[in-house]
């Protein structure tokens, strides 16, 4: 298939590479010359604008940082909607707010292009390995059409409901993840301060009712899990600033439906504090540093 792919960052770069490995022809666009060069070396055609990238595409995929970038890439004069042929389906895998996803879907629908929001979980490791989970907001027929394309980048495709519901699923998952990481950090730090061996504590938690992904796969306490970001200086994971963005999306979405999210709002402030202290580029499990005393 001819695929127009826009946004070749930490996630989009490997996703595009996997689509080419799966036999698709890619035309790509990004603002980064380096990212374009990497994709070109792997066999992609480099376009001059989003519009240029999609003019001959049979499917369009975007993987951009946030809603403002998605709006610009789809709606600007040299954007996707200005170049795409009617009927061509489009997938946005960026994590953005459900309202923007619906707005793009409406604009696309007016010119006969079906649009799906399909944010992912699985991180950069999943993007590289082609094992991402896609949470898809689309009608049933569009979901079935897109499944074979998504299979080139991921292992699980979950149909969440109509447009926007993929983003709702993603935001709610990351709300819980952001909160659970703070809980694990607080518990691990207290245990260590009270004098239990952190490895012993982690192994108890991981076979008890406190077990969760933040404890058994990404434990924030250094050297408890050798492959976790906490054991390599909190590098190479899911950046705290991206978690902060996702908690902001949850807080905004909650405000729209007047739904209180007490712990989510507090979690947002804690990651904001981390970001203000210059730690926003570290893996979000570095939130444990907020519990550090002078001796740490
Ligand atoms: P990134 O910042 O590494 O990549 C974004 C890319 O978009 C960059 O290459 C940038 O140059 C490009 N870009 C920005 N504006 C553009 C424009 N106007 N036109 C063309 N290209 C443009 O981000 P990422 O880590 O790849 O994340 C992408 C999305 O996936 C985000 O919404 C993020 O929240 C989500 N996500 C990330 C992870 C993760 O672990 N990194 C996991 C799940 C979901």
Are 144 and 26 in the same domain? yes
Ligand 1, residues at Cβ distance < 6 Å: 6-12, 29-32, 35, 63-65, 69, 72-73, 94-95, 120-121, 123-124, 238, 242
CA of 169 to the centre of ligand 1 (A): 19
The separation between CA 47 and the C-alpha centre of its own chain, rounded to angstroms, equals 24
**Ligand 1 nearest-atom number relative to CA 96:** 32
CA of 13 to the centre of ligand 1 (A): 9
pLDDT at 236 exceeding the cut of 90 = no
Are 72 and 136 in the same domain? yes
> pLDDT tens across 149-162, in order?
999 999 999 999 99
Residue that terminates a domain, selected from 135, 162, 189: 162
Question: Is 121 among the domain residues?
Answer: yes
Are 134 and 245 in the same domain? no
Are 155 and 186 in the same domain? no
CA of 243 to the centre of ligand 1 (A): 13
**Ligand 1 nearest-atom number relative to CA 121:** 43
Cα distances (angstroms) measured from residue 63 to each of 44, 209, 275: 16, 36, 23
The separation between CA 142 and the C-alpha centre of its own chain, rounded to angstroms, equals 22
pLDDT at 97 exceeding the cut of 70 = yes
| Dist. CA 42–CA 233, nearest whole Å | 31
Question: Is 188 among the domain residues?
Answer: yes
Q: What is the pLDDT of residue 185?
A: 98
Are 19 and 54 in the same domain? yes
Q: Of the residues 33, 102, 155, 170, which is catalytic?
A: 170
Q: What is the pLDDT of residue 268?
A: 98
Are 8 and 38 in the same domain? yes
Are 46 and 184 in the same domain? no
Q: Where are the alpha helices (DSSP H) in the chain?
A: 12-21, 33-41, 50-54, 67-75, 80-83, 98-110, 123-129, 140-150, 165-194, 198-205, 213-216, 240-256, 262-276
- For the entire predicted model, the pTM comes to 0.93
Band of residue 124 on the pLDDT scale cut at 50, 70, 90: confident
Q: What is the pLDDT of residue 294?
A: 65
Residue that terminates a domain, selected from 162, 195, 227: 162
Question: Is 281 among the domain residues?
Answer: yes
Pocket mutation for ligand 1, best pick of 46, 121, 124, 242 (most atoms within 8 Å of C-beta)? 242
Residue owning the nearest CA to atom 1 of ligand 1: 9
> pLDDT tens across 144-200, in order?
999 999 999 999 999 999 999 999 999 999 999 999 999 999 999 999 999 999 999
Mean pLDDT of 206-227: 97
Mean pLDDT of 196-218: 97
Residue owning the nearest CA to atom 8 of ligand 1: 9
Band of residue 264 on the pLDDT scale cut at 50, 70, 90: very high
> pLDDT tens across 14-24, in order?
999 999 999 99
Question: Is 259 among the domain residues?
Answer: yes
CA of 7 to the centre of ligand 1 (A): 6
| Dist. CA 46–CA 32, nearest whole Å | 12
Residue 185 structural domain: 168-291
CB 155 within 8 A of CB 204: no
Are 275 and 244 in the same domain? yes
The residue ranking higher by pLDDT, 295 or 127, is: 127
Question: Is 296 among the domain residues?
Answer: no
| Closest of 288, 293, 282, 189 to residue 244, by C-alpha | 282
Tokens of 196: 């239990």
Distance, first Cα to last Cα, the chain:
54
Are 235 and 96 in the same domain? no
The answer to whether 289 is a known catalytic residue is no
Tally of domains in the chain: 2
Residue that terminates a domain, selected from 132, 162, 192: 162
Furthest C-alpha separation in the chain:
65
Are 15 and 148 in the same domain? yes
């Amino acid at each position: 298939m001819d695929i127009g792919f826009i946004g070749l960052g930490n996630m989009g770069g490997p996703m595009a590479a996997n689509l080419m490995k799966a036999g698709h022809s890619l035309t790509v666009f990004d603002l980064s010359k380096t990212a374009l060069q990497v994709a070109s070396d792997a066999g992609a055609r480099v376009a001059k604008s989003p519009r240029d990238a999609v003019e001959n595409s049979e499917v369009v995929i975007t993987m951009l940082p946030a809603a403002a970038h998605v709006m610009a890439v789809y709606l600007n004069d040299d954007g996707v909607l200005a170049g795409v042929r009617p009927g061509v389906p489009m997938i946005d895998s960026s994590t953005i707010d459900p309202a923007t996803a619906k707005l793009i879907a409406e604009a696309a629908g007016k010119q006969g292009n079906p649009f799906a929001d399909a944010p992912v979980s699985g991180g950069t490791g999943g993007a590289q390995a082609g094992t991402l989970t896609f949470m898809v907001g689309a009608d049933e027929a569009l979901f079935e059409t897109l499944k074979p394309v998504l299979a080139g980048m991921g292992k699980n495709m979950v149909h969440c409901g109509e447009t926007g519901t993929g983003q709702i699923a993603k935001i709610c998952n990351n709300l819980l993840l952001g909160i659970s990481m703070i809980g694990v950090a607080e518990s691990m730090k207290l245990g260590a301060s009270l004098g239990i061996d952190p490895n012993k504590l982690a192994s108890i938690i991981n076979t008890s009712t406190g077990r969760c992904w933040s404890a058994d796969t990404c434990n924030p306490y250094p050297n408890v899990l050798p492959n976790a970001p906490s054991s390599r200086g909190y590098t190479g994971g899911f950046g705290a600033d991206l978690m902060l963005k996702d908690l902001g999306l949850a807080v905004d979405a909650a405000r729209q439906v007047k739904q209180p999210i007490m712990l989510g709002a507090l979690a947002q402030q804690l990651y904001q504090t981390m970001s203000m202290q210059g730690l926003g580029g570290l893996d979000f499990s570095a939130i444990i540093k907020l519990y550090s005393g002078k001796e740490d």
